[in-house]
Structure formats: C-alpha cells, structure tokens
Amino acid sequence: MRFKELLLLLLLCVAISPAAWSNSDEPDEGYLIRPPVFLTDEPDVPLTTFAASVPVPGHLTLCSSASSPESDGFAQNGADVQPSLKLSRIGLAAGVMRGMGRGSAVGVLVPASWVRVRSGIGGLPATGDTYGLGGAILFAKKTLRSGRNGSLVVGSLGLELPTGEDDATFDQSNAVTNAYYANSPRRMPLTWQPSNGATNFHLVLSFGRALRRVSYQGILAYKLNGAGDEDVRLGNVIVGALSATYGLSPGIAGSLEVVLRSQGDDSYPNAPPPGVNQPALAGTTTHGTSLSINPSIRCSLGTRLTIGLGARLSVIKPNDGMVPRTRVFLILYPNF
C-alpha cells in the first residue's frame, strides 16, 4: 500500500465517542469514568454503544462506534487459500440515546460502511467497492445492578431493521463473482455489504467499574442474524471484550483491550454449485474464531477534545475466513 493510501486510511480510522456517562455531577477523573473507545474487527455489534453506561433521565447522549479492519487473504483449515485477496473496510455508526429513568434508556443507531475489495479470488479478477448505510438499530438498555463500589451491570437488547444497502456487485462477471447468488449474478457476499438485508437481533451484557485511576469494562455480545434474499443467512456472531484503562495523569490515560470474536459460517442455499477451478468459498463464506489485543493511549486537549494512538494486534487468526491484519489506528473524539 502506498504512503498516501496508508495516510488516508489512518485518517479515516477515526472513532467518535462522546462521554457515555452523562451525569455532570460525577467528577472527571481523566475521563476514566467513561468507557474506552472500541475499535475492533466487529462491524455488527457496536460495542461502544452497548457499553455499561446509561444516561440520566431526560438527557440525550450521542453514541457512536467505529471499525476499520483490513484483511489479506482467505484462510481455510488454517491455510491461506486466497493470498491475493485484499479487503479494507471503514465502518462508522452514529445515533442518540435518551435516559428514561430507573436506570433505563432507549436509542437508535445508524451504521454506515465502505468496503474495498481488490486483487482476485481463485486466480480470477474480483474487485469492487460497496458503500452506504446499514440497517438501523433500535435498542433499549437497563441497569441490572449498580454497586456502591462504582460497579455497573447493564443489559441491552437491539432490533436491527433491513433498511441498509445489500445489493452491491463485483466489477467483473466471471465464474468466481457469480458464485454466490443464483438470481443476482456478480452480487457480492453479504459479509462485504453495508447490510445483510434481514431483521437481526442483538443481546448484550456489559459490566463496568470506575475507580479513581483505573476503570474496567467487560462486554459479552451475541448477534442473531435473520435470512435475507434467496434465504441467504450470515452466521451468528459472539463477541467478548475485556478492557482496563489507567490514568497516567488527569488528562492522559492508557488502555489495554482483549477482544475474542467467533462467527458461524454464512449460508447461500440457492447459490450455483461450485464449478471447475472455483474457490472453496463459492456459494458460501466461512468464518472462525479470532483474538486480538488492542493497546492505546489517549490525551485530553482541554475539556472538549481527546486524541490518541492505538494498535490492533492479531494474536489468534481464524482458521477459516478473512485473515485480519495487525494495524495502527488514530483516535479522535469530542466530549460533549
């Protein structure tokens, strides 16, 4: 990747995450009482939005998440069978959340993404770009437990509507690009689309605890995907994340996050059968389990802006599916 493209990607890998703890009476301990910025491989379950936080009654809170994974190749049984396949994804999500009292809140989140696919699959050209809005997510949050020691347990439910873009096509028409849909030649697999065109459900349990210099957070999220066109169904997703943030000073903090992600295989039951020399992923796309460690450091510039630098280190790569890359990303978010 050329320097200009790399610089553009880094500038686009931005997380906009306002303070999720909206109670202005709480002291600002170097923004440690706010959840970390989650930048993960997961575009489906927006972890920042479903963090262990609920705004006070009557308050509106901006909520957002970001993801910007890159992949080199496609693995099957631990071997990269498509080393020439390159994929870059920029994902953003923005919405609002309103406190309803008794530790509850409701909100709406609208994601958007841009995916760039380059090189080829199985020796044949397969390039394309997909971009647009994903399915709008209506969600509700409820505080299940609030401890005197600063701990908080929050449960969240989300309903994702089939309102997003899901019909982007490859630039070429050949045996590889026609291998996913019987009635829609050249249509890209749904994993690379902004939306899967189906009604999906999110179930999230999160935990947070804020001390004077340290905050902890954990999230367990599950996404149940529905069926879209031609009964195509993406695999269900499980994401677990643990993070700790330490305040080096009132304005500087470092975070360390561990993210475990697992997804079932996608199903394309009506796709044409694989032909001669077609890749193993024809008609279906496979997934696996991955583990990443994400260190980051952030600095507050005044009271309204925080900047930082982080990295995503792929510790365990999936035996099947897209092969994630280790990368560096920028962090930039305002504090409202």
Domain ranges of the chain: 3-334
Query: How far lies 67's CA from each of 2, 64, 141, 201, 205, in Å?
Result: 21, 11, 22, 20, 20
Mean predicted confidence (pLDDT) in 269-280: 72
Which range among 121-125, 188-192, 198-202, 327-331 shows the weakest confidence by mean pLDDT? 327-331
Residue 178 CA to residue 187 CA, distance in Å, equals 7
Which range among 9-13, 180-184, 236-240 shows the weakest confidence by mean pLDDT? 9-13
Percent of the chain with pLDDT over 70: 78
Query: How far lies 50's CA from each of 78, 94, 208, 219, 238, in Å?
Result: 32, 13, 11, 8, 14
pLDDT in tens, 97-142: 888 988 899 999 888 888 898 877 777 888 999 999 999 999 999 9
The residues facing 137 across adjacent strands are 109, 160
Percent of the chain with pLDDT over 90: 24
Which residues, 6 or more positions from 148, have their beta carbon under 8 angstroms from its beta carbon?
A: none
Q: What pTM value is reported for the model?
A: 0.82
φ, ψ dihedrals at 253, nearest 5°: -145, 150
What topology does CATH give the domain 3-334?
Porin (2.40.160)
In contact, 175 and 275? CB cutoff 8 Å: yes
Query: How far lies 40's CA from each of 53, 119, 179, 232, in Å?
Result: 19, 24, 29, 25
Which range among 92-101, 116-125, 262-271, 303-312 shows the weakest confidence by mean pLDDT? 303-312
pLDDT in tens, 241-260: 888 888 887 778 888 889 89
Top pLDDT among 304 and 326 is at: 326
Average pLDDT, the chain: 78
- Label residue 301 by pLDDT band (50, 70, 90): confident
> What pLDDT, on the 0 to 100 scale, is given for residue 335?
53
Residue 8 CA to residue 1 CA, distance in Å, equals 11
> What pLDDT, on the 0 to 100 scale, is given for residue 39?
45
